[in-house]
Amino acid sequence: MSYLISVMVHTPAHSGIGGALSYSSVTPMPAGTLVRVPLGARELLGVVWDPAENDTDISLRPVSHALEGVEPLTPSWRQLVQFAAHYYQRSVGEVALAALPNQLRELSAEQWTRRLKRTVKADTPSERDTPQIPQATPEQSEVLAQIATQPGPFLLFGNTGSGKTEVYLRAAHEVLTRHANAQVLVMVPEINLTPQLEARFRARFAPVWGESCLVTLHSGLTPAQRLNHWLAAHKGQARIVLGTRMAVFASMPGLQLIVVDEEHDPSYKQQEGARYSARDLAVYRGQLEKAKVILGSATPSLESWHHSRPATDTEPAGRYLRLHMPSRVGHGALPLVRRVDMNRQPYKTVFSSHLLDAMRERITRGEQILVLLNRRGYAPVLHCTDCGWKSECPHCSAYRVFHKLDRTLRCHHCGFTQAVPRACPSCGNQDISPLGRGTEQLEEHLGELLCDVRRTDGQALRIARIDADSTRLKGELERQLAEVHAGAVDILVGTQMIAKGHDFRRVTLVAALNPDGALFSSDFRAPERLFSLLMQAAGRAGRDAHMSTAHACEMWLQSFYPQHPLFEALKQHDYPAFALQQLQERQEANLPPFSFQALVRAEARSQQAAQDFLSAARDAGAAWAEAALVDIYPAVPMAIQRVANIERAQMLLECSSRKALQGFLNQWQVQLLTLRGQHKHVVRWAIDVDPLAI
Ligand code: ADP
Ligand code: ZN
Ligand code: ZN
């Protein structure tokens, strides 16, 4: 008597079947069991996917062995993986195996046995003091009552400093005390950027359930740490898992609450392999496992904002429940937003004189300054500083992007391309320039401008820069942040990295230089990202109640479009107004969340080859697409057209129904596989469902 065992192993990304392989076993292995199976000459880690069946096929190779000492993965976990693979158009094997720690795959049977023998550290009672738990504010109490009684999912819309983290802590506490096996998953965009959050969870829960009640899951762990943390979550020893997007796949048999902090953050979207949105999967997983889901943000994604719309006379409410916490805890006032009209500044001004004066004043008072230069993800726009001309596309309501490599202006919507004009087409001014300037240049320039300023201790001014370049070395970011916290730095210049969750107590002035690029980006999500970045940055100021009196904190914006509605809304700290205006625009243009998108990207040795493949795919799917009401746009070069000598092209798909788009993609992907075989020059291709950048 033997059993047929279906096993999911790591299969190539687009393996059309994506199905499980068949093996035999003399014992029936339950679905979810981790096993090693032979494949060719190798032995692979796999997951038993379906219940065992009686087997008569004697030709099947036997399963090598089941991994000792690990409980099977739950049906919900397998369902989550299966859904993610299906939705994001990847193979189940790829998603399943990528969600497991590498060491499960790598350790030999002997190593694994040794690893298991290592006695699990007994939970040492924590020597920490019982935490001081503040009295909940009325807003927090109201929100917590809703979370306790309503099914959710919830969108917790609360200002920076409104006490969202305290809500997460209390909601987690409630769940963890109610059931001895309950587990809580807390997701953050980037752990390094928010060390305070982990500290607060530890301080609250370690005194009650021991230090090992919380584990982290993120890409900064060593393989051994990742395995340990994964096992702790899988066995239920860790009651709380705090992690980045990968944590959405953590095996947590007792999962009852999922928190997605800063839910608007683009880093929840995986940008390679299976391009999943951890936020969206969290909502799916919550539904699947009957776990409550809290999405929190001061500037929610427009998708979540739309999904949490209240009912109107004619329309039912969205499927999320919006919870609002408008006030800042304590008396930390939001900073006063001041706009500098750069049209009135001398030509080529980088820092207006008013801003420089304000900075001088702050420094002599011993306060700190953040200077934010927002360049991430925004291709620059060409612009005439004389007459205000901008590189508009004549065929679209969009701006053409300046491509430096071949000096062209190019529209990412329709592909219309022209050489960069020698002079402004509108006034003849020869100095048309891309908006934007690098942080490094800025740091240097600022040093020169403020060389006469002294700190309160009489020493020379200290300027530091934090961006992807300055923090490449491991530990460098932490070191630099510590210096800022210690007050050793007066001015911190940086990219969006400095705008995220840090708690800079002594910062009283935040300046954003040149935020204009995003206003005219060809990416329809650019304004949304800019608004949230600036709101987050503004939230860095005035966190220390002792320093902030009504007018103590300021956010300065230098812009050529100071009257732009985005900046108006920012000045009022009015996210709902901004969201309303943006959603109206999106609705008129039929953009997400009012439609659903997917991108197909192809990479090849030549642009022509990449586009040929996409065009062939478009033709092949044309009839189905039409039937499913899916629009397929023509293939265009990607914004960054060439990377490492590979040409990249993309093609946008749009549909008003998520389901119809899904159905179409599932069918079409099989055709793409066949086509790929005929287009030998294509290096790789991928589908990005719900892409964040177009
Ligand atoms: P958010 O996560 O919304 O930015 P936090 O939860 O970090 O807000 O709260 C901001 C500050 O207010 C923190 O220093 C926190 O300790 C404090 N705080 C939060 N809730 C309360 C409360 N109910 N009573 C007193 N202080 C609170
Ligand atoms: Zn001009
Ligand atoms: Zn165009």
Give the whole-angstrom CA distance, residue 26 versus residue 20. Answer: 19
Do the beta carbons of residue 518 and residue 526 sit within 8 Å? Answer: yes
Atom of ligand 1 nearest to the CA of 261: 2
Looking at residue 350, what DSSP letter applies?
Answer: S
Cα 369–chain centre separation: 26
What does the alpha-carbon distance between residue 421 and residue 502 come to, in Å, rounded to a whole number? 43
CA atoms within 13 A on the CB side of 280: 18
- Which amino acid is present at 449? L
Pairwise CA distance, residues 496 & 374, whole Å = 6
Same domain, 578 and 681: no
Pocket test for ligand 1, best of 156, 162, 329, 547 (most atoms within 8 A of CB): 329
Which ligand is in closest contact with the Cα of 425? 2
Both structure tokens of 598: 């997917």
Of 140, 34, 17, give the one whose Cα is nearest residue 97. 34
Q: Which residue is closest in CA terms to ligand 1's atom 19?
A: 163
Residue ranges making up the domain that contains 566: 332-376+438-588
CB 244 within 8 A of CB 270: no
Cα 210 to ligand 3 centre (Å): 59
Extended beta strands in 438-490, E state: 463-466
Among the residue ranges 90-99, 142-151, 418-427, 648-657, the one predicted with the least confidence is: 418-427
Looking at ligand 1, which residue's alpha carbon is closest to its atom 25?
Answer: 134
Band of pLDDT at residue 548, cut at 50, 70 and 90: very low
> Do residues 498 and 582 share a domain?
yes
526 with 489: CB under 8 angstroms?
no
Residue 516's domain is classified under what CATH number? 3.40.50.300
Query: CATH code at 99?
Result: 3.40.1440.60
| Nearest ligand, CA 169 | 1
Which numbered ligand comes closest to the C-alpha of 401? 3
Evaluate if residue 375 carries a pLDDT over 60: no
CA of 93 to the centre of ligand 3 (A): 40
Residue 10 CA to residue 18 CA, distance in Å, equals: 9
Is 352 contained in some domain? yes
Distance between CA atoms of 247 and 281, rounded to whole angstroms?
Answer: 11
Closest Cα to atom 23 of ligand 1:
136
Rounded to an integer, what distance in angstroms lies between the CA atom of residue 689 and that of residue 669?
12
The CA 368 to ligand 1 mean position distance, Å, reads 22
Rounded to the nearest angstrom, the distance between the alpha carbon of 426 and the centre of ligand 2 is: 5
Ligand 1 pocket, Cβ-based, cut-off 6 angstroms: 134-137, 140, 158, 160-166, 329-330
Tell me: do 548 and 628 sit in the same domain.
no
CA nearest ligand 1 atom 15, residue: 163
Total domains in the fold of the chain:
5
Near ion ligand 2, which residues have CB within 5 Å?
384, 386-387, 389, 424, 426-427, 429
372, part of any domain: yes
Distance CA 646, CA 643 (A): 5
Q: Token pair for residue 170?
A: 């209390």
Please write the tens of the pLDDT for every residue from 37-63. Answer: 998 888 899 999 988 888 777 788 999
Residue 130 belongs to some domain of the structure: no
Give distance in angstroms: CA of 682 to centre of ligand 3.
26
Task: Please tell me what DSSP assigns to residue 118.
Answer: S
User: What is the spatial distance between Cα 158 and Cα 151, in angstroms, rounded to a whole number?
Assistant: 20
User: CB–CB of 561/385 below 8 Å?
Assistant: no
Our mutation pick for probing the ligand 1 site, out of 144, 166, 198, 323, counting the most ligand atoms within 8 A of Cβ, is 166
Q: How far is the CA of 692 from the centre of ligand 1 (A)?
A: 31
Distance CA 560, CA 49 (A): 58
Residue among 156, 165, 261 to mutate when testing ligand 1 (max atoms within 8 A of CB)? 165
User: What is the per-residue pLDDT across 312-336, written as a single tens digit (0 to 9) for each?
Assistant: 999 899 999 999 999 888 766 778 8
Residues 463 and 561 in one domain: yes
Same domain, 391 and 361: no
Amino acid identity at 240: I
Q: Which residues contact 688 (CB under 8 A, 6 or more apart)?
A: 275, 598, 599, 600, 601
Q: What is the distance, to the nearest Å, from the Cα of residue 609 to the centroid of all Cα atoms in its chain?
A: 32
Distance 400 CA to ligand 3 centre (A): 7
Q: Look up the CATH number of the domain holding residue 623.
A: 3.30.70.100
- State the CB neighbour count (10 A cutoff) for residue 459: 9
For 145-151, what is the mean pLDDT? 96
- The pLDDT, as a whole number, for residue 377 is 28
Percent of the chain whose predicted confidence (pLDDT) is above 90: 51
Structure-block tokens of residue 491: 């001015």
Task: With a cut of 90, say whether residue 367 has pLDDT above it.
Answer: no
Residue 292 Cα to ligand 1 middle (Å): 22
Q: Residue 646 has what pLDDT?
A: 78
User: Which ligand neighbours the alpha carbon of 167 most closely?
Assistant: 1
Asked if 568 and 630 sit in the same domain, the reply is no
Q: Give the pLDDT band (50/70/90) at residue 10.
A: confident
Is there a single domain that holds both residue 555 and residue 477? yes
Task: Report the chain's mean pLDDT, rounded to a whole number.
Answer: 87
Q: Which atom of ligand 1 is nearest to the CA of 160?
A: 4
Please answer whether residues 400 and 420 qualify as being in contact, where contact means their C-beta atoms are separated by less than 8 angstroms: no
Residues 579 and 468 placed together within one structural domain of the fold: yes
pLDDT of residue 12: 67
Band (438; pLDDT cuts 50, 70, 90) = low
33/633 Cα distance (integer angstroms): 44
Whole-number Å distance between alpha carbons of 185 and 172: 9
User: 3-state SS of the chain: helix, strand, coil percent to 5?
Assistant: 35, 25, 40
| pLDDT above 60 (res 437) | no
User: 382-384 and 401-403: which strand pairing?
Assistant: unpaired
pLDDT over 80 at 570, yes or no: yes
**Are residues 313 and 167 both part of a single domain?**
yes
132/283: higher pLDDT:
283
- Coil, strand or helix at 514: coil
Residue 415 predicted with pLDDT over 80: no
Residue type, 403: H
Atom nearest to 158 CA in ligand 1: 3
Q: Give pLDDT, residue 615.
A: 96
**Closest ligand 1 atom to Cα of 136:** 23
CB burial of residue 28 (10 Å; 0-12, 13-18, 19+) = middle
Check whether residue 148 and residue 225 sit in a common domain.
yes
How far from the centroid of its chain's Cα atoms is residue 117's Cα?
A: 38
Average pLDDT over residues 500-504: 67
Question: What does the pLDDT read at residue 389?
Answer: 87
Ligand of minimum distance to the alpha carbon of 389: 2
**N-terminal to C-terminal alpha carbon distance within the chain:** 55
In terms of Cα–Cα distance, which of 196, 208, 285, 263 is closest to 240? Answer: 208
Closest ligand 1 atom to 140 CA: 23
Residue 127 in domain? no
Are 172 and 269 a contacting pair, CB within 8 Å?
no
Instruction: Provide DSSP, 6-35.
Output: EEE----TT-SS--PEEEEESSPPPTT-EE
- Answer for the pair 541, 335: CB distance below 8 angstroms, yes or no: yes
The residue out of 294, 325, 356 marking a domain boundary is 325
**How remote is the CA of residue 166 from the centroid of ligand 1, in Å?**
6
Q: How much is the average pLDDT of 253-260?
A: 98
φ, ψ dihedrals at 401, nearest 5°: -95, 140
User: What separation in Å is there between the alpha carbon of 565 and the centre of ligand 3?
Assistant: 23
* Phi, psi values for residue 315, rounded to 5°: -115, 140
Do 45 and 165 lie in one domain? The reply is no
Structural contact between residues 651 and 617, judged by C-beta atoms closer than 8 angstroms? yes
Could you say which ligand is closest to the alpha carbon of residue 385?
A: 2
**Last residue within a domain, chosen from 66, 85, 117:** 117
Instruction: Identify any residues that bridge with 53 across adjacent strands, giving them in sequence order.
Output: 4
Confidence class for position 378, pLDDT limits 50, 70, 90? very low
Residue 521 forms part of a structural domain = yes
Strand 2-8 versus strand 53-55 pairing type: antiparallel
Confidence of residue 550 (pLDDT cuts 50, 70, 90): very low
Compute, in angstroms, the gap from residue 392 CA to the centroid of ligand 3: 8
- Asked whether 510 and 337 are in contact (CB, 8 A), the reply is no
Amino acid at 104: L
In a domain, 659, yes or no: yes
Atom 4 of ligand 1, residue of closest alpha carbon: 161
Q: pTM of the entire structure?
A: 0.86
Res 379: pLDDT: 41
Residue 123 lies in a domain: no
**Residue linked to tokens 């997460």:** 168
Q: Report yes or no on 545 lying in a domain.
A: yes
* pLDDT score for 396: 62
Last residue of a domain, one of 418, 436, 454: 436
Instruction: Check whether residue 656 and residue 674 sit in a common domain.
Output: yes
Q: For residue 428, report the distance from its CA to the centre of ligand 2, in Å.
A: 6
The SS3 call for residue 297 is strand
Top mean pLDDT of 33-42, 193-202, 373-382, 632-641 is at 33-42
Q: Which atom of ligand 1 is nearest to the CA of 168?
A: 6
- Ligand closest in space to the Cα of 296: 1
**What is the per-residue pLDDT across 659-686, written as a single tens digit (0 to 9) for each?**
999 999 999 998 998 998 899 999 999 9
Residue of higher predicted confidence among 89 and 192: 89
Query: Closest ligand 1 atom, CA of 135?
Result: 23
Q: Are 661 and 628 in contact (CB under 8 A)?
A: yes
